[in-house]
Amino acid sequence: MHDEEFTQTWLAEMAGQVPGLELFDAHTHIGQNDPDGFACTPGELTGLLEVAGARAAVFAMHEPDGYPRANDAAVEAAADSDGRLVAFCRLDPRAGPLAEAERSLATGAVGIKLHPRAEDFPLDTPELEGVFALASERGLAVLVHAGRGIPALGRHAVAICERHPGVRLILAHAGISDLAWIWRAVDDHPNLFFDTSWWSPSDLLALYTLVAPRHIVFASDAPYATPSFAAAMNLRYAMQAGLDADGLRSVFGGQMARIVAGEPPLDAGPAPGPARLDRDPLLDRVYTFLAASIGQMFQGVDPAETLALAALACEVGDDAPQAETCATVLRLLELRRQLVESRGHDGGPPRFAPGVWTIVAAAGVARTPGVPVPPVGRPATGVGAREA
């Protein structure tokens, strides 16, 4: 689905620096009707997870005909996965959500997924109050889409956490609609969490520096991104932010494993704070051009001119302290050029310009100069052999 020539190597080398790290991906999908053009079978998903050495929570993509059958498919996929998957049931507030939650949980689901954007509802809709009460009573995770395309929902989320202290409410996509303020609320709400299923290095670095690691759970949003890609990039961000080994083990698997097992979440130390995020002005230029090109690519616009400026911004000189970072960025730009010339695609939806994830990786490298980068193109060793 994606070109992972480099990210598998990065994942293997960074994960090897954290003894006892066991990946658990909080946010993956199966299904065939995604409005952005994605599809993923259980076999494809488990294959991606095996490469990363990860377990995962899985739930349905958008299903225009409703979710009971799709929820059954997720439960079946988990049952057939030899422990690699656990199933969450997806609910539509207009289609008997409490009854469907009770039915799916009885068949083997261990959590709940809500998508206010796809199903067009506010998080405080009355039809969901019974669902949150059930989740609180059973100590269940409720994962909520909290990314693009919706009004801010953080104040409703905080109120739900207060009314239902047993629920483990996970705001997906780094809670970007509310991150500007909600990071201040997390210390008073031990049942509020964020997943990392988002692409922006700036948003994710803000999350890792401002929010204590006990409140963050790793997620890829597969098949939008692969677990290997997401884990490699998020490890870079978390290490740049200054998380220690205990924090990394919590974020990248330990806390989510406890949540789905119904165990109390564990503390993993305070938020590191933004002190390590001083911006190098030369690398900031590189990042700015790369971020602008990603915005163009998400709109299907050819980013050639903007990427050319990013390449010129990398010409810092071989003896400059930024030289190694810039050399890696240039190699990633070259990989993207080769992909385009070969008419290849790296797993983004058809409406995206090709090679977008390679440029996301380049932008991530530009924002994480404190984390060493293995040479791009070195064969990965040991990633697929790691056991979740």
Count of other CB atoms within 10 angstroms of residue 300: 14
Six token digits for residue 141: 């995770």
For residue 379, what pLDDT is reported? 42
For residue 381, what pLDDT is reported? 40
Strand-pair partners of 59: 29
Amino acid at 118: A
For residue 303, what pLDDT is reported? 96
User: Rounded to the nearest 5°, which phi and psi values hold at 7?
Assistant: -70, -30
Amino acid at 345: H
Q: What pTM does this model have?
A: 0.94
For residue 345, what pLDDT is reported? 56
For residue 94, what pLDDT is reported? 95
For residue 380, what pLDDT is reported? 39
3-state SS of 263-321 is CCCCCCCCCCCHHHHCCCHHHHHHHHHHHHHHHHHHCCCCCHHHHHHHHHHCCCCCCCC
Six token digits for residue 6: 């480099």
Number of residues that make up the chain:
388
For residue 347, what pLDDT is reported? 55
**Which stretch of DSSP H or E encloses residue 30?**
strand 23-30
Which ranges of the chain have pLDDT less than 70? 1-5, 344-350, 377-388
For residue 49, what pLDDT is reported? 98
CA 118 to CA 160: how far, in whole Å?
20
For residue 35, what pLDDT is reported? 77
**Domain extents in the chain:** 7-277, 281-366
Roughly what angle, to the nearest 10 degrees, separates helices 42-52 and 68-79?
Answer: 40
The superfamily (CATH) of domain 7-277 is Metal-dependent hydrolases (3.20.20.140)
For residue 348, what pLDDT is reported? 57
CA 281 to CA 279: how far, in whole Å?
6
